[in-house]
Chain A
């Protein structure tokens, strides 16, 4: 008698994670080549970010496409001077991004206040409000520098062990 898989709770099956490194590689290959970044240009670095996304530096050859919404973004490129007035909005946008998410702090202003360190209204570093993965120095960084920042994000992504994480999560829910 053949088993039917039309009732709830049946069908499918257990995936046994035995040797997970290749699954990790496969998952990370897909994730690495589709890092969608949030359009978040705050000041002059925003123009440089546009250039990086444009035809000359062409981030799209790495599968990195800009999205105008945090809901579809994996990467937040904070491009420009972050003021106290904007800081809470930036935090809100970061919180709205789905996990896993990454942050590039682009340029001196986003990294430490840069040119405006002595100002009364500038946040001295994005890392005061959100965790930063890659800092890109420069004022402003050239598109090549930002592209290298993206490469660093790629290397971060490829090192992650997704299958282990999923297994841990699964075991955590089962226990």
Chain B
């Protein structure tokens, strides 16, 4: 099935709940968070669609729009077709139902999104960090994240070993400028020095 056919089938079943397919190179559907579980379940279990593989689940941060967009890539091994779903969440308190019940792999993928974006997955069985240490503060893939200054006493900065060194060509220019200034000062002092110079 093509993506358009899949979307038509979804519209026939869910009507208004399914938005328009985007006209991007990789077309996607935008859904509401409350409808996600229902529609994803339909895509997984309906004969002819049978999206048995959650390829990818991630998020993108849009601070200008105050949004975090969840992105779901679904694929069917049996029918060799797939679809991309997006869910827009409020950036201040992003919350979306978990897909762990449909695709067990969502457990780890959602832990990763929680770790790096701070999206709360309702109903997740084990929502804790998966990449960073448990006591890490903040969610690093948010655009306004600031680097830590230290972690457990390990400082986060390393002074450059070449600070304080001058490049040779700059040094030579500096010396040339100083010499020229000295010469100018010397020639300006009296005519005798000018004669000796000539």
- Residue positions of A touching B, CB distance < 8 A: 84-85, 87-88, 112-113, 117, 120-121, 123-125, 128-129
The main secondary structure of chain A at its interface with chain B is: loop
Residues on B with C-beta less than 8 A from A120 are 140, 145, 147-148
Within 8 Å by CB of B154, from A84, A112, A117, lies A84
Given the contacts A120-B140, A121-B140, A85 and B158 also touching, CB distance less than 8 Å? no
Residues on B with C-beta less than 8 A from A87 are 151-152, 154
Interface presence of B125 (CB below 8 A): no
Minimum Cβ distance to chain B for residue A141 (Å): 18
Residues on A with C-beta less than 8 A from B148 are 120
Minimum Cβ distance to chain A for residue B10 (Å): 39
Residues on B with C-beta less than 8 A from A121 are 131-132, 140
Within 8 Å by CB of B152, from A84, A112, A124, lies A84
Q: Enumerate the 4 nearest inter-chain pairs by beta-carbon distance, A residue then B residue, closest first.
A: A124-B158, A84-B151, A120-B147, A85-B133
- Count contacts between A and B, CB distance < 8 Å: 31
Q: What class of interface size applies to chain B in its complex with A?
A: 10 to 19
Minimum Cβ distance to chain A for residue B97 (Å): 29
CA distance A124 to B145 in the complex (A): 19
- Beyond A113-B158, A120-B140, list 7 extra A-B contacts (CB 8 Å): A84-B151, A84-B152, A85-B131, A85-B132, A87-B151, A121-B140, A123-B154
Residues on A with C-beta less than 8 A from B147 are 120
- Residue positions of B touching A, CB distance < 8 A: 131-133, 140, 145, 147-148, 151-152, 154-158
Whether B154 and A128, one on each chain, are in contact in the complex, defined by CB atoms closer than 8 angstroms, is yes
Residues on A with C-beta less than 8 A from B145 are 120
CA distance A121 to B131 in the complex (A): 10
Residues on B with C-beta less than 8 A from A112 are 158
Minimum Cβ distance to chain A for residue B177 (Å): 34
Given the contacts A84-B133, A120-B145, A120-B147, A129 and B158 also touching, CB distance less than 8 Å? no
CA distance A123 to B147 in the complex (A): 12
Minimum Cβ distance to chain B for residue A157 (Å): 27
Minimum Cβ distance to chain A for residue B156 (Å): 7
CB-CB nearest in chain A for B147: A120
CA distance A105 to B147 in the complex (A): 24
- Between-chain CB contacts (< 8 Å), 21 pairs: A84-B132, A84-B133, A84-B151, A84-B152, A84-B154, A85-B131, A85-B132, A87-B151, A87-B152, A112-B158, A113-B158, A117-B158, A120-B140, A120-B148, A121-B131, A121-B132, A123-B154, A124-B158, A125-B158, A128-B155, A128-B158
